[in-house]
Amino acid sequence: MDKRPSLTVGGLHFEWDLEKGKFSFEGQDAVLFWTASAMKMFFDSIEEIAGKEAAEVVLESTGFRQGLVVGEYFTGMEQVDVEKAAILITNTYASAGWGIAEIHGLNEEEGTLEVHLRDSWEHKINVAQNKKRGGRFLPAHYAGIFTNLFGRQIWYEVDHHQIEGHEESVIRYFPSDESIEENIHRLARAKEAEKISQLEQLVDEKTAELSELISEISSPLIPVLEGIVVVPLLGTYDENRAEELTLKTLQNLPTYKAKYLVLDLTGLNNNFTRHTASLIGKLGAAASLIGTDTILVGISPQMSMVITETGLNLSKFNCFQTLQHGIHYALAQNGRSII
């Protein structure tokens, strides 16, 4: 004799097999969870791991796909049309603790209906989560059910949620090309665009930091001795960098009371261009206007060829092979020397 406890409620059969730790609902394995605690924790964990937007898409997709399974089950029942199936489904869900669901305005030919939900398990979880907006699992779930019952793609639109202060949630259903696959792809594209935007912002920030660092360390003014300032030229000079170098140099020469500006060109061997040669000429000419003589050091044979090709006359500047020679020359002009 079978002593397993069982119960029939509203025509639906519940059964427990305590020895095997099984609970059956209509002959199928089922489980029971506390809604406002255990299931709330489950939903919270999904949001924590995936993020709120992704969690909504996950629950919507899961609800729809589960709905397809339910719809397929009731579609296969003999002598059960769509209206009867809708009644059976709502009664089944009420018995299973899913809350009260009522079907309004069902039109199989048009593929439209309204589902009114009151005190559903999803609503109770949302209340426990202090949500301001209702969830998407159950609205999508019924879309999945009626997609199978109607035999065409059905989607939904929420008129309002119970959690917003209404007596019940009202969801409208209609034929649509909308699909969970498209929503998943849309989320993926949005996440990808967000990630790209974050990376672009990071690149912009790092580029700005690098530009500021380069500005600080490139072509520094070095007051080596009284009245003598050395500026080493490094790298390639575009229009912005050339302008920055000129302004920085001319603004600081008076501060150091510089009589001699020594431009060290050693670091330009592989980056010496017509533009750089023109920059040197302009910088030296501008320095002379504020009473500072320019000395060029570190000119290589390759540089001299470029200078010759540009037609610039740099002979007005004293030129030396090394920085040491240039500094000795500037000291000698003041009657001083390094001993």
Residue 59 lies in a domain: yes
What integer is the mean pLDDT of 239-252? 86
Number of domains comprising the chain: 2
The reply to whether 161 and 49 lie within a common domain is yes
Q: Is 7 helix (H, G, I), strand (E, B) or coil?
A: strand
Instruction: Tell me: do 51 and 169 sit in the same domain.
Output: yes
> What pLDDT score was predicted for residue 147?
94
Q: What is the CATH number of the domain that holds 251?
A: 3.30.750.24
Residue 109 lies in a domain: yes
Asked whether residue 11 is domain-assigned, the answer is no
Domain closes at, from 178, 196, 231: 178
**Overall average pLDDT of the 212-239 stretch:** 80
Q: Comparing 40-49, 126-135, 213-222, which segment has the lowest mean pLDDT?
A: 213-222
- Do residues 58 and 155 both lie within one domain? yes
Q: Does 249 share its domain with 307? A: yes
Same domain, 91 and 169: yes
Work out the average pLDDT over 97-102: 92
Q: Is the pLDDT of residue 1 over 60?
A: no
Percent of the chain predicted with pLDDT > 90: 36
| Same-domain pairing of 277 and 148 | no
Specify if 188 maps to a domain.
Answer: no
**CATH number for 166:** 3.30.1380.20
Least confident range of 10-19, 199-208, 261-270: 199-208
Longest dimension (CA), the chain: 123
In this model, does residue 46 exceed pLDDT 90? no
The CA distance from 91 to 10, in Å, is: 7
pLDDT at 106: 95
Torsion sign, CA atoms 12, 18, 23, 24? negative
- Full residue range of the structural domain in which residue 163 is found: 33-178
Residue 53 has pLDDT above 70, yes or no: yes
Q: Is the pLDDT of residue 195 over 80?
A: no
Cα–Cα distance measured from residue 294 to residue 319, given in angstroms and rounded to the nearest whole number: 9
Q: Can you say whether residue 181 is alpha, beta or left, with left for phi > 0 and alpha for psi between -120 and 50 degrees?
A: alpha
Is residue 60 one of the residues assigned to a domain?
Answer: yes
Residue 33 has pLDDT above 80, yes or no: yes
- Residues 293 and 265: their CA atoms lie apart, in Å, by 16
Over the stretch 280-339, which tens digit does the pLDDT of each residue have? 889 999 999 999 999 999 888 888 888 888 777 777 889 998 999 999 998 888 777 666
Higher pLDDT, 80 or 108: 108
Indicate if 46 and 169 belong to the same structural domain.
Answer: yes
Looking at the structure, tell me whether residues 252 and 119 fall in a common domain.
no
Place of tokens 């202060």: 165
Same domain, 39 and 147: yes
